[in-house]
Chains A and B, each alone.
Chain A
Amino acid sequence: LFQAKVSSSSGALQLRVHPTVLLQIIDFYERRPENQLQVIGTLLGSSDSKGQVTATNCFSVPHSESEDSAAIDIEFQRAMFELHRKANPGESIVGWFSTGSSIRAPSVLIHDYYSRECRRPVHMLVNAEVDDSRPRMQFRAFVSTTFGVPGKTKGTMFVPIELRNEAYDDEAAACRVMQSGRNNIKRAVSLLDDVGNVRSAARNLSRMLEQVIAYVDSVLTDQQKADPQLGRSLAQLVNTVPKLDKETFDDMVNSSTKDLLMLSYLTTMIRTHLDFNEKLIAM
């Protein structure tokens, strides 16, 4: 899972990442040129005074690196940043990302470059190599500090900071809708219309209810121990269904249904009228 590390000594620095950033990094990683093992790029977002950095967007930057040196296309970085800034002036450089399993020597050089672009760059490391032995992706975030003997040799060290996922409601809803693509042979998620959505939500609801009922049954037959906490929340759940007697409820449902029927009648009438109008004008 996301490793929550001890916050760095200089204040509770925290990186919050939006799913847009992660998806883009994966996309850049998939599109990397043949001879390259890793991609790097700039993280865009905002940071507030309390030390929380939020990354909302990113773009990758062509680079080349070897055992002990690295080169980035600085012109490209600047040009892309300008473009992004035109589109969204609220975003500024907050750091950079790299794919890979561990921090490499050239990372220090790259981090150095980014320290010139922004005040306190955050370095995000994404390990997208997933296989049977390591089935989870790894995301980590670091900042750099100097360390060493004062007055003599100094070095830079990357200190891990906490990384959290956060998303706008819209992004979260989009992610949730796209989850169903995992179970589909063609990995396709087709967008449902209104009624379809109600149907799928109802299906989910019934599935969850079945799970709960199964649990309750197993507790009643002594197959599982009863958890009082769970029992309390279940009682709360049942109590939230408003208790109306049949008549009142029927009245409410009927009046709503009548409204809906009226609306659909009016709308169909308008539609017929439109078609009619069209024929008249065409004459």
Chain B
Amino acid sequence: QSFQSLQRKRGIMSYSHHRRPYQHGHGYGYGHGHGHGHGGYGGGGSHSQQPQPSAASVAAAAVAAASAPAIDDEDASSVQQVVMEGLVVLKIAKHFHEEQMSGNRIVQGLLFGLVQDTRLEITNCFPFPRQSDDEEAANSGFGIVPVAEFDAAKYQLDIQKNFRQLNADYLTVGWYQSSAGAEFLTKEFVESQFHYQVGVLDAVALVYNPLKTSRGQLEFRAFRLSPALVKLMSDEDNVNQQRMKELMVNQANLVQELPVIIRNSHLANVLLAELEDSVASNAFSGLSLAMGSQLERQMKSLSTGCEVILQESSKYLNYQRSYKKYEKALQDQKMKIVYENQQRAQRGEEPLSEDAIDKSKLPKIGNPPVALDPVLVSAQLHQFTSELLETVGQSYGKLMLAEGIQFN
């Protein structure tokens, strides 16, 4: 099979023959809120036949996104698998490496690509600039943008405009974030993913685990919020215990994980073959038996998580107790009124209405605790436990290996 004819085919057909434009009923607005605040919502990403998005159409798309139609089960995304290109893998790894050298632990960016049947293909990505709440850091000239000033929507639009000219996919299909081990399931994560998912139904959050890369493995995991959780969160004021029970949102049901595979084009594989000798890395660094620090770190996250759960439980119990007291006092007052009414009826006077209850005599209760938080924390703990079990399994395997080598 001639490489040249293959490559020419790709160039001349300019990818339209197997990369259909992204067609989806809902307009693709998108927004993002991450870090410590919420960025603005932005519209954009037009169909390939339309001219570049003008300000008016952007605003319109933003409105469309803000008033997204009610989400029902038929809208559940049909994506079963995420396919990444090697290009994206390298870009994310490089981005993290460079950010890490300047001390930033969380690294985020956008993902671009398209959806095809049951596959979500990620073909390109672009990092977000470093953001920080610290005014001083922002003005120090190292390119750190203060959160308030960072216009995420405009940034995203700029990238998309430029990508379109380069004939690269410009449709946002999600975002990526680095995380230390399994520690990514925070409130901000869920909120950001919610915003993306509302805009683009198939949006995924790609989590990159750089700790594994230093041991010679690659770990990318793709998540999206379960339809139940999306339903729950779309009605912001009503995130309480009852709704959660109705929608059956529990810690196993918060996020869905999608399998990720990496695929490269033929030419890219040729390039990788060329690089095989010159870009060497220790293929066996992962076989080191020194897993102690790793396990320690995981245990520590686990124990902090447990403490948080304990706190949440006690908060909940306190709330329950005070609610009971409130109820009881209310009942007492009601009984008193009924009794009064009986007496008054005997004496021929008018009965008191229930409004006569003196509300100020009732004990105070605080706000009910946010129901989603403990579920989130327990889901995170579940991730920790899985990660720990995996590491344990791996260490055990290595021990067996060492034993085999020693006695043969």
Chain A residues closer than 8 Å to B240, beta-carbon distance: none
Mark contacts of A26-60 with chain B using CB atoms, 8 A cut-off: 1 yes-contact digit, 0 otherwise: 11111111100000000000000000000011011
Task: Indicate if B7 sits at the interface (CB-CB under 8 A).
Answer: yes
A223 vs B373: C-alpha distance when bound (angstroms): 71
Does the CB pair A195–B390 fall under 8 Å?
yes
Q: Using a CB–CB distance below 8 Å, which chain A residues touch chain B?
A: 2, 18-20, 22-24, 26-34, 56-57, 59-60, 62, 73, 76, 79-80, 83, 85-90, 128-132, 135-137, 164-179, 181-182, 186-195, 197-199, 201-202, 204-205, 241, 244, 246, 249, 253, 256-257, 260, 263-264, 267-268, 270-271, 274, 277-278, 281-282
Is the CB–CB distance between B316 and A267 below 8 Å? Answer: no
**B219 to A191, Cβ gap below 8 A?**
yes
Of B89, B262, B279, B406, which contacts A172 at CB under 8 A?
B279
When C-beta atoms are compared, the residue in chain B nearest to A175 turns out to be B279
Interface pair B250/A278, CB less than 8 Å apart: yes
Answer yes or no: B40 CB below 8 A from chain A CBs: no
The contact sample of 22 A-B pairs, CB cut-off 8 A, is A22-B271, A26-B267, A26-B268, A30-B265, A56-B94, A83-B155, A131-B5, A136-B274, A170-B214, A173-B217, A178-B272, A181-B262, A188-B262, A190-B262, A194-B217, A197-B216, A197-B217, A198-B286, A201-B286, A274-B309, A274-B382, A281-B374
Instruction: Count how many pairs of residues, one from A and one from B, have CB atoms less than 8 Å apart in the complex.
Output: 297
Q: Please give, as numbers and ranges, the residues of chain B lying within 8 Å of A257 by CB-CB distance.
A: 396, 399
Select B271's contact among A26, A76, A270, A274, beta carbons within 8 Å: A26
Q: How far is the CB of B304 from chain A (nearest CB, A)?
A: 12
Query: For the complex, what is the distance from the CA of A197 to the CA of B259, rounded to whole Å?
Result: 16
Q: Is B287's CB under 8 angstroms from A198's CB?
A: yes
Known A169-B214, A195-B390, A277-B309; contact A176-B283, beta-carbon cutoff 8 A: yes
Contact with A along B86-98 (1 / 0, CB 8 A): 1101110111111
Which residues of the partner chain B approach A167 to less than 8 Å between Cβ atoms?
Answer: 279, 281
Does B139 have its Cβ within 8 Å of any Cβ on chain A? Answer: no
Contact A87 B127 (CB under 8 A): yes
Q: Which of B96, B126, B385, B394 contacts A197 (CB 8 A)?
A: B394
Report whether A174 and B265 are in contact in the complex, using a CB–CB cutoff of 8 Å: no
**Bound complex: CA A213 to CA B124 (Å):** 45
Indicate which residue in A76, A174, A198, A268 contacts B90 across the interface (CB closer than 8 Å): A174
> Which A-chain residue is minimally distant from B12 (CB atoms)?
A34
